[in-house]
Structure 1
Amino acid sequence: MKMVERTLLKDLYTHKNIKENLSVPRLVEIILERKEAVLSETGAVRATTGTYTGRSPKDKFIVKDEVCKDFVDWGSVNQPIEEKYFDSLYQKVVDYLKEKDELYSFKGFAGADKKYRLPIQVINEYAWHNLFSRQLFITPTDEELESHQSEFTIISAPDFKADPIVDGTNSETFIIISFKKRVILIGGTEYAGEIKKSIFSIMNYLLPNQDVLSMHCSANVGQEGDVALFFGLSGTGKTTLSADPYRRLIGDDEHGWGPNGVFNIEGGCYAKCINLSEEKEPQIYNAIRFGSVLENVILDEETRLPDYDDTSLTENTRAAYPLENIDNIITPSVAGHPNAIIFLTADASGTLPPISKLSKEQAMYHFLSGYTSKLAGTERGVTEPQATFSACFGSPFLPLAPSKYAEMLGEKIDQYNATVFLVNTGWTGGSYGVGKRMKLSYTRAMVHSALEGELNNVETVKDEIFGLDIPMHIPGVPDEVLIPKQTWEDKVAYNRTAQDLALKFHENFKKFKQASDEIKQAGPVYKG
């Protein structure tokens, strides 16, 4: 790939001021010199991202060419774009970047398991984006850097804006993947999360062909070597719940599950900062220090102390930091096969149980459904929770058909006898606006009981609408919290709201025509 890479990027490689794999202190110096960000009291740099404070899914494309046209699951998530538009935009971006005084390059890896890792390169217009990339991906040793041959390259030019009429895009912003050229173009957005998620999309395309299930999940390992996975979209608690002082962290967001077990795709964490406190989330709070990147977090003008409760820019405030900033991690980020799998949902209707144990058929139903509520700020235009169904809890990042990932998960659940739970970190006592968010302490207690095997043989009650087996007693959690209907003052409103959600499940699942009857029948009972 080295010759292909150098031929394709020759204009940028000859740029006399391209800075490659700079140290963290040097990058921080440059960021402050260029006034791209300011230094916070924690030692982290704080950058703001302007108009785009979350992902822009309507501006993401995949080049439809002979390499991938027969494999990608084309549609509203994987929007096709013609190769001619990519080639034209590529040249425009390169010409634009050639005029810059400095560019910043990071060469590293995605994938902690060396058998499956992908050598990558990120070329940035902004130094703070390069620091972000260094902290989120896996940094090579000096020896590895010497022989590094990038197989995919991201070119990020936030200040370059597309012309939709000429460039075939939907707006000034574009995130375009070319599997043929092995290049990702990003422009028109300063939101660093696009860099991270583009590489995840690439891994979701490549890994299944190597008998590795790529997963949008966090993972940790207990003292006895038991592994837990936490699936869920942004804002459902993957990062928070996997950062457990009694378990070692494998990773907070992206993993592969292969023949040898689970491995982290990344080398860092990208944690939400909304309402972050040392009391509630000490590991994350204390991980934000020198070399970390704060995104859209408000700072006190004088003290530069972060105000994690201030959402005046966005609710999607973020912190990027390397895994080694977490005290309790496993190194390297690889472990055995999962014993427990947690599906996380932030249910804004307030009708799903806070925890329930799933049969295999229910597990497949809820994995394919991927129900949650998009939380404010995680995507452009989302200002309050919206019910959504994201297949495999990661539809925006899946180039292949969801059935491919679901089939692989089902096979692995069978093969390794993993236990699956559905956990609602959303609302209780009523829907959004009436009820309140489930207490984190309750959720932690429920998850702890699940991971310790304490829920395997407890007394349960079956939810009459969702058909889920709900534990009746969990240490540290009031019994009435476990049964959603009991937390609602208006029982008629509860039944109506639960039926509305059941109907949404049924309507969404119609698209999975190839699912077996057993899986289809594992969903909610709609009596409308």
Structure 2
Amino acid sequence: MKQTGTQSDHSRLEGLDPAGTGRVFWNLGTAALCERAVARGEARLSDSGALVVTTAQSGHEIRLALVDDEPGESGETSAQTSPDAAAPNRAGALTRPHFEALKADLLAYVGRRTLFGQDLCVEAGAGRRLSLRILSDQAWHALFIRHLLRPCAVAEGGETAPRFTVLCAPGFRPTPETHGVAAEGTLALDLANGLALIAGTARTEAIRAALAQLLDGPLTDAGVLRLEGAAATAPTGNVVLFLGAAGAGKSALAAALAKGQTGDSAPSHLADGALGWGEDGLIALENAAYARPADLAQPEHAAPGFGAVLENIALDPASRTPDLAEAANTDVSRVILAQPSTKSAQEAIFAPPAHLFLLVQDASGTLPAIARLTPAQALGSCLAGMDTVPVLAERHAARLHHLLTQHAPQGWLVNTGWIGGAAGVGQRVALEASRRLVDAAQAGELASGVWRTDPHFGFDVPAALEGVDPRLLDPAKAWPNRVDHTVAARRLAGQFAGRLARIEAALSQEAQGAQTGMVLAAE
């Protein structure tokens, strides 16, 4: 679209043919979208100018349905997203007639409403961009996605149809009999035609899951591995990649590293959220900070200023101050902070990572606060999930193995969970300790120290680091009874080995040669 802020009828929805005479506002800016969201009753305004929206009761469970023109006997098909995305790892199959019925009825529904459209792009490597169109009957959705992705520059001489389209109508309730999907929290995808339909939920996770599904195949074709994580350029010049399950601390540790732990200066080079890892290095697929309040390095200083989106975060009724501390304990709370509009596409590109930190929240209390991983151990931990949550789908194993071999980052396991006992009994690893260990690891401070091999998991653990409680590096010393620690550690190691054994058959021949080589303690 050449102009921004224009309105039109629905005839400009390429590939869609809605009924009615509704309007579409195209590519409105931040101020206009904030104004409309508040005026339409979609959001409230905080004391800093952030929009506060409530979606917690809107389709709490997001159900994924993929169009399958030739469904198998199981009636299910594998989801194409990463395990850390909002959608489940298994997706229900949706017949073509059901999807077409859903599309027709959803379009008839939005045809009587005002829509807000944004034309955006995702970087897929040097000189490669994927174009998307996001449409919703919620103005704040347009603001959220405008923060998350980059505006698409229109080619000289005309408009270009988007490669992918997402249509979101939270108020529409499908019926299983007619549409083949649940009434609430439905994400239906026609990957063959690049179309995602979202109904019965306003949660931003549904839109991000739609993007993950639509982009996964094209990114893979471009040689780019899609990940959920955070990347930062440290003061040493090292590019550091953080991976792990939601809530493990990726955002906080990456932000602290990028700031040089000064606590005041703005991060020099930071990406948080969806990342791509390709032959040339890392790519920030998203242009905004999308984080749980608990993952922010300093929630009270997160500066959710004008235009930021606060999802499911309470406001003080008098001062209109958001309660980020309380929201830190809520799974459905999100903070979306826009990046400066001057940030160039080149700033989305990082060099290959020199260090790969896999963050786990060990609920057993048996893992050390940090350990050094071989490439094989790093691959196994990504696929099997040391804390039961894998950070990568099995089908991407060969690609990850190739990137680990090509770029040779030093792998690390960081336990941000518990030490000295299981969750509820042991002590949580303090964020300050994790920061200190991560900084020492990437700066080379640990390299010259003494190391020991963990008898249960087979990875190397530093014996000591100045300023760090020794018990964090040898958890057995933190347990009241060393025998209890041994029993718990062996149980976790056995579970991990069992998950690796179950996925071994699914790995390509190349990846099968990269098993972890985990050493279990002798009986």
**Do both share a fold (TM > 0.5)?**
yes
Equivalence for 2:293: 273
Equivalence for 1:63: 67
SS of the residue 2:192 aligns to: coil
Equivalence for 2:106: 93
Structure 2 CA distance, aligned partners of 1:442 and 1:253? Answer: 23
Contact 1:274 1:316 in 2 (8 A): no
Equivalence for 1:496: 487
Contact 1:232 1:394 in 2 (8 A): no
Equivalence for 1:296: 312
Structure 1 CA distance, aligned partners of 2:273 and 2:354? Answer: 18
Equivalence for 1:342: 357
Specify the code of the residue in structure 2 equivalent to 1:173. Answer: G
Contact 2:417 2:429 in 1 (8 A): yes
Cα deviation code 1:10-68 (max 9, x no counterpart)? 327x85521111010000000110111111112111001142486x35x1122123799
SS of the residue 1:61 aligns to: strand
Between 1:221-230 and 1:288-297, the stretch displaced more is: 221-230
* Of 370, 373, 383, the match for 1:368: 383
SS of the residue 1:8 aligns to: coil
Specify the code of the residue in structure 2 equivalent to 1:98. Answer: G
Specify the code of the residue in structure 2 equivalent to 1:84. Answer: P
Q: Is 1:257 the equivalent of 2:273?
A: no
Specify the code of the residue in structure 1 equivalent to 2:108. Answer: D
Unpaired runs of at least 5, structure 1: 373-387, 396-401
Matches for 1:227-246 after TM superposition, within 5 Å: 227-243=239-255, 244-246=258-260
Structure 2 CA distance, aligned partners of 1:9 and 1:359? Answer: 50
Structure 1 CA distance, aligned partners of 2:92 and 2:392? Answer: 16
Per-residue deviation, 1:348: 1.4
* Of 344, 352, 358, the match for 2:367: 352
Q: Is 1:478 the equivalent of 2:494?
A: no
Contact 2:247 2:295 in 1 (8 A): no
Matches for 1:108-187 after TM superposition, within 5 Å: 108-111=120-123, 113=125, 115-141=127-153, 147-187=159-199
Give the TM-score, by structure 1 length: 0.85
Matches for 1:23-42 after TM superposition, within 5 Å: 23-42=29-48
Per-residue deviation, 1:469: 0.7
Equivalence for 2:424: 433
Structure 2 CA distance, aligned partners of 1:53 and 1:310? Answer: 22
Structure 2 CA distance, aligned partners of 1:164 and 1:317? Answer: 29
Contact 1:231 1:342 in 2 (8 A): yes
Structure 1 CA distance, aligned partners of 2:433 and 2:354? Answer: 22
Per-residue deviation, 1:419: 0.8
Contact 1:207 1:214 in 2 (8 A): yes
Per-residue deviation, 1:300: 0.5
SS of the residue 1:180 aligns to: helix
Per-residue deviation, 1:194: 1.2
Cα deviation code 1:100-125 (max 9, x no counterpart)? 1x111111012264533210011001
SS of the residue 2:105 aligns to: helix
Cα distance change on mapping 1:145 and 1:93 into 2, 3 Å:
farther
Matches for 1:454-469 after TM superposition, within 5 Å: 454-469=445-460
Structure 1 CA distance, aligned partners of 2:282 and 2:460? Answer: 28
SS of the residue 1:298 aligns to: coil
Equivalence for 1:375: none
Between 1:491-500 and 1:331-340, the stretch displaced more is: 491-500
Contact 1:157 1:186 in 2 (8 A): yes
Specify the code of the residue in structure 1 equivalent to 2:137. Answer: E
Specify the code of the residue in structure 1 equivalent to 2:360. Answer: T
Number of aligned residue pairs: 492
Contact 1:219 1:228 in 2 (8 A): yes
Structure 1 CA distance, aligned partners of 2:131 and 2:496? Answer: 40
Cα distance change on mapping 1:461 and 1:29 into 2, 3 Å:
same
Structure 2 CA distance, aligned partners of 1:265 and 1:311? Answer: 26
Per-residue deviation, 1:427: 1.3
Contact 1:36 1:126 in 2 (8 A): yes
SS of the residue 1:353 aligns to: coil
- State, as a whole percentage, how many aligned pairs show the same letter: 28
Per-residue deviation, 1:191: 1.0
Per-residue deviation, 1:522: 2.1
Equivalence for 1:201: 213
Unpaired runs of at least 5, structure 2: 1-10, 81-87, 261-266
Specify the code of the residue in structure 2 equivalent to 1:489. Answer: P
* Of 10, 29, 47, the match for 2:17: 10
Structure 2 CA distance, aligned partners of 1:20 and 1:145? Answer: 19
